[in-house]
């Protein structure tokens, strides 16, 4: 299919003049270009220095079939070599198990971060971080992948602080902590009572807790119960992982869970400012459908979408924390769980009816509204936190089958906004607009918030202002700070699930399409600027932060740095002290790496020896990373400047095994090698 340029040159004015007029670019062109002499066959206006470069842009635009909109989009995203992006977006990798960092607006992929899946380029899991990855192993099965879904940047006072990044693994109910000083995963915790999660990770406004909601109802603690006993024996849960910021780790001993009905909990979101201390979550299977299609029962998805209303979960986290500290919990697999009966009795849990198979639950910047999207309802429903509090006080509720108070819908509803088909997720900007992704419509709707935001809108409150088509099947959307008290309304990224005709078909498996949209102007103006094909994973959600809030190391602070403890390893290999010694029944190798050699470059052991190998990159130069690989032993490390690593293996195969540096680090990179000799 040939694409026609949407725009042709007006006649009579000369292409260059027309282009400049259309783009309003006269001064830009004049300021940065020399006079041109390109293949323009219309008489050019007088060659003055103010319009001198127009011909070349015009010729390129013509040749490439670019419209004025294309050209403005290019100008808004082009990031000249050597300049940096003002925003960094962290996107989950879906079932690749990783996280991707992307510069915005250039949409250049800057890095992947190994999390739940071993990743050879970073040496992630070969063999050093195996213990971190395997922290979530189920009793018998080693895990080598995850389904990363929702990244969360740590917050201070309900704003991103750029210190840590958290992410969940839906497949195995794990939560990972990434330190944004070196962009490395430091910890993975496995939820001991649930097998999968979805409503994670979201953080409370000062990152006291990382929230992890479960998803599919199951007997808690990985136990067995007949599916016929679903209502009696199956449960949902939400877990509050306590974060110790000073240590940069989750403090498992201060963490707890709350038992919930088996309603298919979905996303969770923390309240903030006026709703600080409260947490909101969705559910989509209050029908408690269990499938059984072979037995003639309704299939899962039909069974789970029969009722008009499901329940938004409203949790008083402050009160739950007090109950936990008062010991009002039971231990399950050694993990504290506040039982459902306690949650009901102590007023920790309320429900709000929400139409129909809801998915996203999002809190407005100042925390006063909660927006729920029903996938099968063309509206988003907006609840007022103040009204929720009033209804709780007035006991305007009736119990559900488990006894959880269901608040009166009409008393707590603030508004319903008809946004379109398949609403999923909502983000907010700095101009009082909300944006909701529409999966079925393949659009993003911009609508006005009411309440305190009303004065910002001549259009009136709770009104759709415009919708922009995206390509195609959008899931999450991401605005810098779009889920914080301080959103920044310049860009929106639409994380589309299908890309169909957008790129050259890469076989039957196509990339995802992340589309960058300019939302800097209000009203009905939104413009798609760029398509980023993501061919290395399936991002679900992303969070974007102003780059100046990130303060990463350029090299590790000192030579011999242990990336896990965050200080110098007392047993690190150091320059001048390289050696091989036998002690405690093992061979200890102390090796340094520097351009362009390893010292020692010969290591001789006996077959069957246990080898403890310490290696330190002693470089102080930024980007002087060395790799380290031993052929035949599946050993592969990335050692950034200053970093010290230790790995252990049994030399169970005799032979001669070259080791070499895998990063093209210097002119003599190929010579950066040596031999491991294992004597029979």
From ligand RUQ, ligand CUA, none, interface partner of 665 (C-beta below 5 to 8 A by class): ligand CUA
Q: Does 375 bind ligand RUQ (CB under 6 A)?
A: no
E-state strands within 375-487: 379-384, 397-399, 405-407, 413-418, 423-428, 433-438, 443-448, 464-469, 474-478
Torsions phi, psi of 632, nearest 5? 85, -15
Name the residue nearer to ligand CUA (CB basis): 255 or 625: 625
Least Cβ distance, residue 664 to ligand CUA (angstroms): 6
Name the residue nearer to ligand CUA (CB basis): 314 or 615: 615
Name the residue nearer to ligand CUA (CB basis): 350 or 659: 659
15's enclosing H/E stretch is: helix 15-23
CA distances from 226 to 67, 233, 461 (A): 62, 8, 50
From ligand RUQ, ligand CUA, none, interface partner of 258 (C-beta below 5 to 8 A by class): none
Least Cβ distance, residue 666 to ligand CUA (angstroms): 6
CA distance 455 to 448: 10
CA distance 367 to 354: 19
169's enclosing H/E stretch is: strand 159-169
User: What is the contact mask toward ligand RUQ in residues 527 to 546, using x (rule: CB under 6 A)?
Assistant: -------------xx-----
Q: Does 424 bind ligand RUQ (CB under 6 A)?
A: yes
Out of 15, 62, 150, 379, the only residue in the binding site for ligand RUQ (CB under 6 A) is: 150
64's enclosing H/E stretch is: helix 54-64
73's enclosing H/E stretch is: helix 68-77
Least Cβ distance, residue 218 to ligand CUA (angstroms): 48
Least Cβ distance, residue 312 to ligand RUQ (angstroms): 16
Least Cβ distance, residue 578 to ligand CUA (angstroms): 16
3 state SS of 550: coil
- The answer to whether the beta carbons of residues 153 and 162 sit under 8 Å apart is yes
From ligand CUA, ligand RUQ, none, interface partner of 174 (C-beta below 5 to 8 A by class): none
Name the residue nearer to ligand RUQ (CB basis): 541 or 657: 541
Q: Does 95 bind ligand RUQ (CB under 6 A)?
A: no
- The answer to whether the beta carbons of residues 217 and 234 sit under 8 Å apart is yes
3 state SS of 307: coil
From ligand CUA, ligand RUQ, none, interface partner of 181 (C-beta below 5 to 8 A by class): none
Least Cβ distance, residue 627 to ligand CUA (angstroms): 7
From ligand RUQ, ligand CUA, none, interface partner of 197 (C-beta below 5 to 8 A by class): none
Q: Does 475 bind ligand RUQ (CB under 6 A)?
A: yes
Alpha helices, H only, 253-396: 300-303, 317-325, 340-345, 385-393
Q: Does 476 bind ligand RUQ (CB under 6 A)?
A: yes
From ligand RUQ, ligand CUA, none, interface partner of 7 (C-beta below 5 to 8 A by class): none
- Omega of the bond leading into 664 within 30 degrees of 0 (cis): no
Question: Which residues lie near ligand CUA (CB under 6 A)?
Answer: 626, 661, 663-665, 669, 672
From ligand CUA, ligand RUQ, none, interface partner of 540 (C-beta below 5 to 8 A by class): ligand RUQ
β-bridge mates for residue 616, sequence order: 592, 644
Burial 68-95 (b: 16+ CB within 10 A, else e): bebbbbeebbeeeeeeebbbbbbbbbbb
Site for ligand RUQ in 197-226 (CB under 6 A): 198
Site for ligand RUQ in 234-293 (CB under 6 A): none
CA distance 518 to 84: 18
Name the residue nearer to ligand CUA (CB basis): 434 or 665: 665
From ligand CUA, ligand RUQ, none, interface partner of 626 (C-beta below 5 to 8 A by class): ligand CUA
Query: Which residues here bind ligand RUQ, judged by CB under 6 A?
Result: 149-150, 198, 359, 424-425, 475-476, 540-541
């Amino acid at each position: 299919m040939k694409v026609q340029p949407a725009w042709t040159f007006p006649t009579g004015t000369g292409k260059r003049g027309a282009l400049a007029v259309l783009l309003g670019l006269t001064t830009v062109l004049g300021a940065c270009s020399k006079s041109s002499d390109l293949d323009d066959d219309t008489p050019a206006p007088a060659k003055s220095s103010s319009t001198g470069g127009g011909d070349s842009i015009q010729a390129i635009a013509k040749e490439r079939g670019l419209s004025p909109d294309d050209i403005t989009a290019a100008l808004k995203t082009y990031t000249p070599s050597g300049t940096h992006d003002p925003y960094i977006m962290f996107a989950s990798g879906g079932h690749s198990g990783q996280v991707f960092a992307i510069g915005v607006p250039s949409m250049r992929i800057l890095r992947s971060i190994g999390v739940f899946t071993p990743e050879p380029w970073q040496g992630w899991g070969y063999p050093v971080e195996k213990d971190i990855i395997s922290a979530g192993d189920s009793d018998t099965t080693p895990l080598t992948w995850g389904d990363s879904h929702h990244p969360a940047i740590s917050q201070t006072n309900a704003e991103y602080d750029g210190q840590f990044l958290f992410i969940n693994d839906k497949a195995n109910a794990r939560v990972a902590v990434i330190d944004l000083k070196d962009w490395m995963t430091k910890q993975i915790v496995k939820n001991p009572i649930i097998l999968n999660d979805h409503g994670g990770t979201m953080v409370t406004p000062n990152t006291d807790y990382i929230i992890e909601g479960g998803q599919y109802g199951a007997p808690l603690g990985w136990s067995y119960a007949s599916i016929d006993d679903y209502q009696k024996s199956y449960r949902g849960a939400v877990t509050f992982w306590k974060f110790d910021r000073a240590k940069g780790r989750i403090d498992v001993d201060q963490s707890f869970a709350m038992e919930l009905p088996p309603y298919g909990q979905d996303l969770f979101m923390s309240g903030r400012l006026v709703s600080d201390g409260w947490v909101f979550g969705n559910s989509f299977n209050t029908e408690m459908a269990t499938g059984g299609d072979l037995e003639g029962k309704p299939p899962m998805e039909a069974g789970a979408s029969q009722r008009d209303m499901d329940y938004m979960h409203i949790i008083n986290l402050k009160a739950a924390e007090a109950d936990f500290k008062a010991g009002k919990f039971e231990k399950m697999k050694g993990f504290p769980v506040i039982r459902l009966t306690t949650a009901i009795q102590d007023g920790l849990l309320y429900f709000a009816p929400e139409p129909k198979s809801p998915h996203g639950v999002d809190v407005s910047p100042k925390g006063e509204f909660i927006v729920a999207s029903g996938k099968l309802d063309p509206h988003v429903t907006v609840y007022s936190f103040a009204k929720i509090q009033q209804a709780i006080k007035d006991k305007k509720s009736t119990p559900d089958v488990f006894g959880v108070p269901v608040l009166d819908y009409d008393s707590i509803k603030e508004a319903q906004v008809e946004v379109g088909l398949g609403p999923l997720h909502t983000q907010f900007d700095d101009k009082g607009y909300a944006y909701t992704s529409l999966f079925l419509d393949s659009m993003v709707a911009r609508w006005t918030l009411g309440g305190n935001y009303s004065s910002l809108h001549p259009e009136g409150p709770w009104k759709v202002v415009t919708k922009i088509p995206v390509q195609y099947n959008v899931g999450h959307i991401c605005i810098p700070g779009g889920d914080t008290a301080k959103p920044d309304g310049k860009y929106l990224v639409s994380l589309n699930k299908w890309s169909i005709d957008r790129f050259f078909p890469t076989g039957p498996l196509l990339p995802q399409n992340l589309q960058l949209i300019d939302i800097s102007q209000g009203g009905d103006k939104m413009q798609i600027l760029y398509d980023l094909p993501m061919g290395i994973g399936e991002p679900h959600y992303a969070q974007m932060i102003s780059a100046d809030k990130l303060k990463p190391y350029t090299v590790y602070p000192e030579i011999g740095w242990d990336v896990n403890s965050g200080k110098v390893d007392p047993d690190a290999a150091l320059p001048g002290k390289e050696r091989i010694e036998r002690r405690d029944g093992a061979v200890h190798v102390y090796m340094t790496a520097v351009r362009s050699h390893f010292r020692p470059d010969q290591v001789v052991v006996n077959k069957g020896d246990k080898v403890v190998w310490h290696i330190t990159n002693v470089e102080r130069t930024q980007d002087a990373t060395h790799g380290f690989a031993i052929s035949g032993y599946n050993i592969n490390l990335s050692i950034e400047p200053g970093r010290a690593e230790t790995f252990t293996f049994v030399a169970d195969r005799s032979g001669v095994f070259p080791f070499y540096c895998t990063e093209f680090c210097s002119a003599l990179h190929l010579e950066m090698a040596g031999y491991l000799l294992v004597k029979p």
